[in-house]
Chains A and B, each alone.
Chain A
Amino acid sequence: MKILLIEDYKPLRESMRQGLRENGYAVDTTGDGEEGLWYASTGEYEVVVLDLRLPGMGGLEVLRRLRAQNNRVHVLIVTAKDSIDDRVKGLDLGADDYLVKPFELSELLARVRALVRRKHDQKEPVIRVADVEVDTSARSVRRGGMLVDLTLREYAIMEILARKAGRIVSRESIQEGIYDFAAELSSNVIDVYIGRLRRKLDVCGGDKILHTKRGFGYMLGEEGRCDP
């Protein structure tokens, strides 16, 4: 679950980044409009959190250019501009939601979650795959009704796999979803996380649900035939 945060005020940017990270999101940040546009155009983000009053290229211009590139990424505008005109202008340019500063962290997280759900066309916060339930709101996983104790990163991988249940998800795409742009990773880090996840899920009993397809990636689902 990767978020792009474009906010030029460093203290706010840092605290938002920390808040989002501690809730399982990988966060790329920038304080510059042009750089933000480049990130959004080249990366795969669930949500872009965008400030409007940016030096150089303003937030509305970033949004306009993104939409002109036919980039459908969900954009949450976070700004101190609270007039109806500003909101209408932002939403008309293709923003998906609007949050006025100063805001509660819980509200920011809830809106980000709602946008992620909307992206995956999912109205309910709970994703069910066989006997596994991934609660995106509580950020918890249950198997057969039993709570699976996961770390933030394990949960994040679980959510990515659950959202694409039944389909193979490549290692790179998992890596991109849980790590920031600048993170330096060892090549087998994802394999390590998958191994841990599989063990924790298997403890709860039931059929094997997390499968590895060598050379392609991983899949969450009941169809064991994918497993060689």
Chain B
Amino acid sequence: MRSLTGTLFRGVILGTAFVLMMAGTILYISVNRQLISQMDESLTDKVRTLALSIEEKPYGLEVDLEEMRAEDMEEAESPEYIYISSMDGRTIYRSDRLGSYSLSGFPAPLAGPRHDWHIIKGAGKVRSVLFSFNPEVDDEEENLESVATDSGIVIDKSAKPGDQIVIQLFKETPQHRRFMEMFLFILLATGLGSIGVLSLTIWLAIKRGAEPINELASRIEEISDDDLRVRLDEDKVLNELVPIVHKLNVFLDRIERSFSREKGFTSDAAHELRTPLAGLKSTIEVALTRKRESGEYQETLERALEIVNQLESLVKNLLALARLESGQEAPQIFPIEIKSCIRDAWMSYNQAAEEMEIDVSLNLHNGDMALIDRELLIQVVDEIFKNALYYVDQGGSIKINLLHQDGSTQFRVSNTGSKVSGEEASRVFDRFWRGSQSRGGTGVRFGLGLPIARKIVETMGVRMEVETEMDGEFVVTLTMPEGNRTE
């Protein structure tokens, strides 16, 4: 499992190490270049000075090694070696240490001094400067014999007047190498030391920074399924965590409400099942307490059957609700004519309404088609009618309207005689809610019809609302939106 502290730590350390390495490399290269540049300048100055010791004489080219102090140069702490040749590659003078070294392929006179690195056997890596020039001409008559005897002078008789001469000066660089090695060591030591110190500091900082997160994690861990009332204090967390904690609290609210609803539902469902069970048991027990006439037994059996039918209806409703809530019930949507659905559903209640002397007004607008599941719509409309007829007062009225309004189709059923107050109206969709209306004479109303009906229509994008109007009429409205409407 990845840890935030570990990831942060690794990220910061790797980033810091990379920056340090880049900075160290740039510094190292800059210093090295600077030093080499200084060394090259010094070599250039020196090679120009050496060039003054080479003169064009009437008898040839004369190189004054003594004046150059060539021997001293070779013995110095950073030894230097000289190589002199003509432009065509003929060696005029070469320090012994250079062995058989010679220049090859000289294309043209050089525009200026040229610096380079060379490997010389026994001396290792050396820096060189190559310089071409026209030696100064000295026409003064001198005795060649006397010059030739001087060991410090080299004479090249083959040289022609006006020939360009090449002089190359090599310099061993032990000091430079040692300095750069030391500098590299200091850079590495400083870098590693810095990373060590930084690691410790960053680790402590991250640990400290992560403390509020760890505290939050502990608080969250304390929240159990059994007690969802715990909330996280938004005032006691870092500003950056406030949105997370706030969202978490909102989620906890929702979960608690949902759990509580589920708990309430289970408890209510158990209660609703236990009550008819108690009725069944009690009815049978009472019948069995003594010997009775056969008519009494028949009456008991009829009552028991009635209770069993109610239990069956309740279980069916509970299962329907569970299926709807888990999304198992998928509607089969086709274009259907709403009017015929409503008319068919009302047929079952027409006679009962007449017997109860209910004043029914049926006003169905023609021709509206909707994309909807016919069977489910009939089930819902049936429940609405059943509800209206159950609660309407004797001799009261029921109004059934199908109308087109604001681009949507509305189906409204209202009944008089309702005891549901305006404030209570929205609670009719709470499962098992019966308000002040009793379970009634038959005990068949369990407060599940309208909640199930609403769940059903919601799966088809239809809105279901209820209200109690000023005159006390209870109104149920189904609104089928524009999208569901078809011609």
| B3 in the interface (beta carbon within 8 A) | no
Nearest 6 CB-CB pairings of A with B: A12-B279, A80-B274, A56-B436, A101-B278, A102-B278, A80-B271
Tell whether A105 is near chain B: CB-to-CB under 8 Å: yes
Chain A stretch 93-111: residues in CB contact (< 8 A) with chain B: 100-105
- A-B CB pair tally, cutoff 8 Å: 90
Residue of B nearest to A99 (CB): B278
Interface flag for B316 (CB, 8 Å): no
Q: CA A31 – CA B441 in complex, angstroms?
A: 9
Residues of the B chain whose Cβ atoms lie less than 8 Å from the Cβ of A10: 439-443
- Of the candidate stretches B38-46, B140-148, B241-249, B282-290, the one touching chain A is B282-290
Instruction: Specify the main secondary structure of chain B where it touches its partner.
Output: helix
With contact pairs A11-B307, A55-B438 given, residues A105 and B290 touching in the complex (Cβ less than 8 Å): no
Asked if B270 is at the interface of the complex by the 8 Å CB criterion, the answer is: yes
- Beyond contacts A15-B285, A56-B435: 8 other A-B pairs, Cβ-Cβ < 8 A, are A15-B286, A55-B439, A79-B271, A80-B273, A80-B274, A80-B275, A102-B281, A105-B286
User: Within 8 Å CB of A12, what residues of B?
Assistant: 275-276, 278-279, 282-283
Q: Are B278 and A8 in contact (CB under 8 A)?
A: no
**In the bound complex, how far is the Cα of B283 from the Cα of A188, in angstroms?**
34
- Say yes or no: A11-B279 contact (C-beta < 8 A), given A80-B270, A83-B267: yes
Give the complex CA separation of A104 and B282 in angstroms: 7
Q: Is the CB of A22 within 8 A of B286?
A: yes
Among B278, B290, B438, B439, point to the contact of A103 (Cβ < 8 A).
B278
Closest Cβ of chain A: how far from B449's Cβ, in Å?
A: 15
| Alpha-carbon distance between A44 and B303 when the two chains are bound, in angstroms | 31
A55 to B303, CA, bound (A): 22
Which residues of A does B touch, CB under 8 Å? 8-12, 14-16, 18-19, 22, 31-32, 53, 55-56, 79-81, 83, 100-105
Measured CB to CB, the closest approach of chain B to A223, in angstroms, equals: 38
> Which A residues are CB-close (under 8 A) to B438?
8, 31-32, 55-56
**Shortest Cβ distance from residue A150 to the other chain B in the assembled complex, whole angstroms:** 16
Q: Mark B438-457 against chain A: 1 for CB-CB distance below 8 A, else 0.
A: 11111100000000000000
Bound CA span A100–B290, Å: 25
A11–B283 CB distance below 8 A: yes
CB-based nearest A residue for B303:
A11
Which residues on the B side are within 8 Å of A32 (C-beta)?
438
Alpha-carbon distance between A1 and B280 when the two chains are bound, in angstroms: 26
B277 in contact (CB, < 8 A): yes
Question: How far is it, in angstroms, between the C-alpha of A108 and the C-alpha of B443 when the chains are bound?
Answer: 22
Rounded to whole Å, the gap between the CB of B271 and the closest CB of chain A is 4
Q: How far is the CA of A128 from the CA of B197 in the complex (A)?
A: 98
Chain B, interface residues (CB within 8 Å), range: 20 to 34
B271-A19 in contact (CB<8A) = no
Q: Does B127 contact A (CB under 8 A)?
A: no
Query: How far, in angstroms, from A32 to B307 measured CA to CA in the complex?
Result: 20
| Contact status B435-A101, CB under 8 Å | no
Q: Which residues of A lie under 8 Å from residue B272 when comparing CB positions? A: 80
What is the bound-complex CA distance between A182 and B388, given in angstroms? 32
Which of A18, A19, A80, A103 is packed against the most chain B CB atoms within 10 Å?
A80
Residue contacts A-B, CB under 8 angstroms, 5 given = A12-B276, A12-B278, A12-B283, A55-B437, A102-B277
B residues in contact with A31, CB < 8 Å:
438-439
Distance from B277 Cβ to chain A, minimum over Cβ atoms (Å): 5
With A10-B439, A55-B438 as contacts: A18 and B278 at CB distance below 8 Å: no
Q: Which residue of B lies closest to A17 (CB)?
A: B286
* Alpha-carbon distance between A40 and B99 when the two chains are bound, in angstroms: 133
Interface 1/0s, chain B 103-129, versus A by CB < 8 A?
000000000000000000000000000
Residues 257-279 of B, flagged 1 when their CB comes within 8 A of A and 0 if not, give: 00000000001001111111111
A107 vs chain B, min Cβ distance (A): 10
Query: Is B434's beta carbon under 8 Å from chain A?
Result: yes
CB of A81 within 8 A of CB of B267, answer yes
**Minimum CB distance partner of A51 in chain B:** B275
Give the residue name and chain of the A residue nearest to B272 (CB): A80
Q: How far in angstroms is the closest Cβ of chain A from B77?
A: 99
Task: Give bound CA distance, A69 to B466, whole Å.
Answer: 38
Q: Are B437 and A101 in contact (CB under 8 A)?
A: no
Among A9, A31, A53, the most chain B Cβ lie within 10 Å of the Cβ of A9
Q: Tell me if A101 and B285 are in contact (CB < 8 A).
A: no
Given A9-B439, A81-B267, check contact A104 B285 (CB 8 Å).
yes
- Cβ of B74 within 8 Å of any chain A Cβ, yes or no, is no
User: What mask results when residues 411 to 437 of chain B are scored 1 for a CB within 8 Å of chain A, else 0?
Assistant: 000000000000000000000001111
Instruction: Please provide the chain B residues from 213 to 263 with a CB less than 8 Å away from any CB of chain A in the complex.
Output: none
B393 interfacial by beta-carbon distance below 8 Å: no
Q: Beyond A19-B289, A105-B282, is A9–B275 a contact (Cβ under 8 Å)?
A: yes
